[in-house]
Amino acid sequence: MATQISEPVRKFLEKPNFAVLATHTGDGLQATPVWFLYDGGQILINTSQGRVKLRNMQKNADVALAIVDGQNPYQYVQIRGRVAGFDSQHGGRDIDRLSQRYLGKPYAYPGGDAPAKRVSIRIEPTHVSAQGF
């Protein structure tokens, strides 16, 4: 069940702070820093095919994110949720959206990566808590 996000938290999520994504590995947890975008009530992230976090989410849709204010580490948001979908068709477009948000320019693909390898992941928040608001 999706949860409502308060106006102060929504405004915080509009800032380009980094998130740490936690996924289940099967025998533990993996935590990875990621770019994100709060979009249509969901959290949008992006990765490349073959990445551990993608395999983890394909096996177990339960995830958590911690987003810390880059200027004030005592202000942060924790989101628990479930993967709502994987989108390979728009992965290249979405990594450019995220790169524009964080770097102000299109994504520069490292060797071995390409638009066709990108996958967008949408996360439906089920629980949100905030500190410092």
The segments of the chain whose pLDDT lies below 70 read 1
- Give me the number of domains the chain comprises: 1
Three-state SS at 96:
helix
The 10s digit of each residue's pLDDT in 38-59 is: 999 999 999 999 999 999 999 9
Alpha carbon distance 95, 49 (integer Å): 13
Residue 15 lies in a domain: yes
Q: Please give the torsion angle defined by the CA atoms of residues 32, 13, 15 and 73, in that order, rounded to the nearest 10 degrees.
A: -60
pLDDT computed for residue 1 by the predictor: 59
pLDDT computed for residue 79 by the predictor: 98
CATH label of the domain that carries residue 61: 2.30.110.10
E-only strand ranges, 50-132: 62-68, 76-87, 118-131
Record the tokens describing residue 57, joined without a space: 């989410």
Residue 1 lies in a domain: no
Residue 91 belongs to domain spanning: 7-131
Contact 55, 30 (CB under 8 A): no
Residue 63 lies in a domain: yes
Residue 73 lies in a domain: yes
